Structure 1
Amino acid sequence: MADYDVVIIGAGAAGLTLAHRIGQSNDRRGAALRTAVLEPPPGPWTPPPRTWCFWEAGPGPWDPLLTASWRDLSVVGPDGARHRSPARPYVYKMLRSTDVDAHVRASAGPGVEFRPLYARTTRDGPEHATVQAVGPDGERSELTARWVFDTRPPRPPHGGRTRLLQHFRGWFVRLPEDALDPGSAVLMDLRPPQPPGGVAFGYVLPLSRREALVEYTEFGRTALTTAEYERALADYCERCGLHGAEVTASEQGAIPMTDESLPTRAGRRLFRIGAAGGATRPSTGYTFSGASRQAAAVAWALERGRVPVPPVPHRARHLAMDAVLLRALDSGRVSGADFFARLFAANRLGDVLAFLDGDTGPVREFAMGLTTPVAAMSLTSADHLWYTLRSSLAGALPGGASRRRPPVVSRRGPARPR
């Protein structure tokens, strides 16, 4: 008999949302799935606190924990033109990881335990999977489980055609006097100097009339140094008129933006969820909504005794469009600032958010595409199609590097273990 029904490696957004869903399922069933959440012991492996932003239509399950939310959004073009509109039907929301962590621990119930273990290796098996881990004092542990879900950040991408980073640094600031509108957020400000490839922008998420999260972000091949981010943030605060801002905290990170395929199934009883399982939308870097959809599907399958294969939370056509955009940015075929300025100037922000969340149809998506640099994007689409066909043909020929395909993950329902 395995030690656990479920082992979750990692207590970030994906791990916590899955643990939360399993705890809720245990309450409904009246019988607990024995679940262990493995998190690195305090030390160099401990991830720093961070914020998670997402949007959803109306109220949601995390609303009691929200740091802030906004119904009115704006985008500022490179020329300073401001495009402002309601996010309707969506609400843009912010969570702090520390708040989610405390809530999940308090509400998960006796079936879910958090263990301070650093997972080193995993091993698949016909009846159970095995996780080898190290504890706070260096002692080795070996845990077995019917199902293992690995949320650890994916390795640096080596597949796919385009590999960019969304890299950023943010300041939590406090102003000496009231100067902000807590009900309105700047989602993207394209006035910062633009890098030669990709795009640079800032944004301002007010938390009160005197407090805000201000971030500087780039899409590009390499991250900046902390000193370079600091200079960019100081310049952006001056540009926004946030004079005399006191920095109370900071956050920094880098999110892979790639067209590499990230399958969710790693074995008969091993799965990947979160960024490691393709939950990140490649064109935006947003992950929380995709990870939440995966967690809901996994908990649903576990509750019914099915094989809990996590779904890929983004449709194939949206991933193809993301690949085209990333290629257009990386090749320099389009100016990122021009692309996003046109997109947001010609479309209501709520409609753009619907597209970015995969909640639009092909007709609406085609119409939105016509508001972007059409010639450059059409050329990149043709280039991407040719690259895809050529890669498929090469893989089909004898000796082709791509003849062995990754496991197919069905969006309609879980498959049987193989």
Structure 2
Amino acid sequence: MSSPPVDVDLALVGGGGAASLVLAALDRHDVRDLRIAVVDPVRRRGQDRTWAFWDHPGNDLDDLLSASWSQVEVVTAGGHRALELAPLRYAMLRSGPIYDRAAEAERRLGVTRIAAAADALDDDGDRVLVRTDADRPVLRARWVLDSRPRPPRRPGRTNWLQHFRGWWLTADRPVFDPGRAVLMDFRTPQPARGVSFGYVLPVDSRYALVEYTEFSPALLTGAAYDRALAGYRDLLGLDPARLTVTEVENGVIPMTDGPFVARPSPRVVRLGTAGGATRPSTGFTFSAMHRQAEQVARAVAAGRPPVPASAYPRRHRWMDAVALRALDRDLVGGPEFFGRLFDRNPAQRVLRFLDGATTVAEDLAVMRSTRLRPMVTATFADAAGRLRDRLAPSRRPIWTVPPPVVGADPPAVDVSGH
């Protein structure tokens, strides 16, 4: 005979970065009277992804960071821009410390772990039955936080991907500047449709993550990523004979203006990319995931429902949709678009905008830094697309997690974002 479902107050479906941050936040806020369960077939551990983000120093992440920088570079064919970020910092966090902290939080919180994939969430408005096969519910939860990758409610008007491959390089002598990260280096060959750039995150003078990234509609082959990375390594003047590739990272993140549904039913709340945490114009996700976790923990500690605020203001999602359309239709070039943003705004304003934290006045300043005519064209085209969506609301979602890229190393597909 099958066992009756376990009753819990909060079930985390999916045990990756978003769930790990929630567990750590609940522990940090000393939530001890809550029955919690995690439903995931895999117990996450080790270094399976790297997050890069900006924030203010002096928070719960300080002792987990691999590195941080108060200065970054943006590089175009026109030259190098050294950007002072203070009082912000640009930070790099590997997944291992987050998973370790979540494991300790699980122990302290007395979490029940179900080592299976959730097949269905049946919400009757009072409880959610979590099923790991079609017939047998394993949990009955008051609330569910679901961080599994999901497509948007309908296909976006623009559907791009941020996709990348990075090499962790160890040099036999000092070759990297640990005081400065390279945020975007647009000297890479630009694709026929899309934007590419290089990226350097130095941990110390001999150890760094060097990455090739594209914003575009389609993935490359593994060999193509390696060729692009080798070309970028040579562009940086690094001697391959003095370097060892110690790890390889790959990632694929959706960049779409399709709407993600954060509350699919009364007691199910989605987090991470599925909950709208990915910024459509850049693919950045971690800061919004971290905010969601903090908001959930504060709400639970105060006896409120575990429902975070919207990850980004509606006006920012609209601005992202217009920017994506302008890039997709080749109305603006990627290096020019991002170069003008950093040229004509303080770095802190651009980073706060990308984090969804700017005021309306600052948003207007950001908008004025772009070229007027192509953005007006993209705005009218976006408005026409929104009208078509209202007239044809039944279009089915088309976004799915793309297949891994083909290469010598097994890729870690990252759908939780930088």
Amino acid at match of 1:238: D
Residue 338 of structure 2 is aligned with which of 337, 340, 349?
340
Rounded to whole Å, the distance in 2 between the matches of 1:80 and 1:154 is 40
Counterpart position of 1:221: 217
Shift of 1:184: 0.4
Residue 5 of structure 1 is aligned with which of 5, 9, 12?
9
Shift of 1:348: 2.8
2:45 and 2:96 in contact (8 A); partners too: no
2:152 and 2:274 in contact (8 A); partners too: no
1:40 matched to 2:36? The reply is: no
Structure 1 residues not aligned, in runs of 5+: 403-418
1:236-267: CA deviation from partner (whole Å, max 9, x where unpaired): 00001121221100110110011111121111
1:299-356: CA deviation from partner (whole Å, max 9, x where unpaired): 2222233232332210001000000011111111111122112222233322211111
Aligned to 2:157, the other structure's residue is in SS state coil
Residue 20 of structure 2 is aligned with which of 16, 24, 44?
16
1:41-87: CA deviation from partner (whole Å, max 9, x where unpaired): 37xx999700111111222211101011111111001x150001211
1:2-29: CA deviation from partner (whole Å, max 9, x where unpaired): 521111011222111111122233x2x5
Counterpart position of 1:173: 169
Shift of 1:164: 0.6
Rounded to whole Å, the distance in 2 between the matches of 1:146 and 1:90 is 38
How high is the TM-score relative to the length of structure 2? 0.87
Rounded to whole Å, the distance in 1 between the matches of 2:296 and 2:264 is 15
Residue 366 of structure 2 is aligned with which of 365, 368, 377?
368
Rounded to whole Å, the distance in 2 between the matches of 1:98 and 1:321 is 34
Cα distance change, pair 47–283 in 1 and its aligned pair in 2 (3 A): farther
Shift of 1:390: 5.0
Rounded to whole Å, the distance in 1 between the matches of 2:222 and 2:91 is 27
Rounded to whole Å, the distance in 1 between the matches of 2:27 and 2:116 is 20
Identity rate, percent? 42
Shift of 1:147: 0.7
CA RMSD after TM alignment: 2.3
How high is the TM-score relative to the length of structure 1? 0.87
Aligned to 1:217, the other structure's residue is in SS state strand
Which stretch has the larger CA shift, 323-332 or 375-384?
375-384
After TM superposition, list the pairs within 5 Å mapping 1:103-122 onto structure 2. Answer: 103-108=101-106, 109-122=108-121
Amino acid at match of 1:132: R
Which stretch has the larger CA shift, 327-336 or 302-311?
302-311
Counterpart position of 2:383: 385
Residue 161 of structure 1 is aligned with which of 157, 162, 165?
157
Counterpart position of 1:256: 254
Shift of 1:167: 0.6
1:73 and 1:349 in contact (8 A); partners too: no
1:127 matched to 2:131? The reply is: no
Cα distance change, pair 313–127 in 1 and its aligned pair in 2 (3 A): same
Counterpart position of 1:358: 356
Rounded to whole Å, the distance in 1 between the matches of 2:365 and 2:155 is 31
Rounded to whole Å, the distance in 2 between the matches of 1:197 and 1:315 is 28
Cα distance change, pair 180–171 in 1 and its aligned pair in 2 (3 A): same
Rounded to whole Å, the distance in 1 between the matches of 2:48 and 2:163 is 16
Rounded to whole Å, the distance in 2 between the matches of 1:124 and 1:157 is 18
Residue 186 of structure 2 is aligned with which of 190, 211, 220?
190
Rounded to whole Å, the distance in 2 between the matches of 1:230 and 1:15 is 32
Structure 2 residues not aligned, in runs of 5+: 396-418
